Amino acid sequence: MPSPISFTQKSGEIKNEVGDENEFYAEWAKFKYQVGFDKFLWDDQREQYFRFGYQLIPQEDPKLEKKSEVFLFVYDKNLNLIGETQLDNVEYRFESPFFKDGKLWSYVNVEDELGFAVFTFDF
C-alpha cells in the first residue's frame, strides 16, 4: 500500500560517475534530501513492526543539517502497512531504537551521560 504522507522509496537518477567536486556535491544533494528508512523494529507485545523514516531538512550551513522530518510507519506481522504518521514534535533521528515491555526505547546523550528516552504508544 503506498504511503500517503511520505515517499515510499528514493526517486530520481543519481550519476555513478561525476567529473568534478561540484558535480559530486550536486549528486550527493539529490540523494541526501530524499526520505531514508531505518530497519524494521518488532514489538512482541503488539505483534507489530515499526519503522522510522527521515527526510533531512536543508540548512544554509550543511554542517548544521541534523534536523529532519520524522515519520513512523506501523505494519502488521505480515508487513502490511496499517498506519503512519509524521511525528511533528520529533526533529532528530532515534539512536539505536528498540522495543522492551511494549515501549520504544532510544539512546540519548544527556550532558555527556548515556540515557534513554522511553515512548509509549496509545493507539
Residue 100 has pLDDT above 80, yes or no: yes
| Mean local confidence (pLDDT), 33-45 | 91
pLDDT at 111: 86
CA gap 83, 98 in Å, rounded: 19
In a domain, 83, yes or no: yes
Look up the domain containing 55 and give its range: 21-91
State how many domains the chain has: 1
In a domain, 51, yes or no: yes
Confidence bin at 55 (pLDDT 50/70/90): confident
In a domain, 110, yes or no: no
How far lies 19's CA from each of 26, 27, 91, in Å? Answer: 11, 11, 35
CA gap 63, 27 in Å, rounded: 17
pLDDT in tens, 65-85: 778 899 999 999 999 999 999
In a domain, 53, yes or no: yes
pLDDT at 29: 80
